[in-house]
Amino acid sequence: MLYLTCPNCGRRTVEEFRYGEIPTIPESITDPDARDLDRGFMRTNPFGPSVERWFHDYGCRRWFTVTRDTTTDEVL
């Protein structure tokens, strides 16, 4: 059971939220077209800390940003 803490409403189970990815494009990609493609289609699926946006769908209906360790679900 993953919990997230909405800065406005408090600690809630993850089913109250919707996930929003923050696209990250590797620095090694320099060509603008390739960067666009990467942003549109590549998912980094990080192993470890991941900066994420979450939308509090069942509460205040606002976005907030958290850093979550994807290996433990711990919010850092």
* Cα–Cα dist 47/31, whole Å: 26
| Residue 45 CB, nearest approach to other proteins (Å) | 18
Instruction: Give the Cα separation of 16 and 5 in Å (integer).
Output: 11
Looking only at residues 4 through 63 of this chain, which bind Zn ion when binding is defined by CB under 5 A?
A: 6, 8-9, 56, 59-60
Tell me the C-alpha distance between 50 and 46, whole Å: 6
Closest distance of CB 5 from Zn ion, Å: 9
Query: Which lies closer to other proteins via its Cβ, residue 35 or residue 46?
Result: 35
The residues of the shown chain that bind Zn ion, judged by CB under 5 A, are 6, 8-9, 56, 59-60
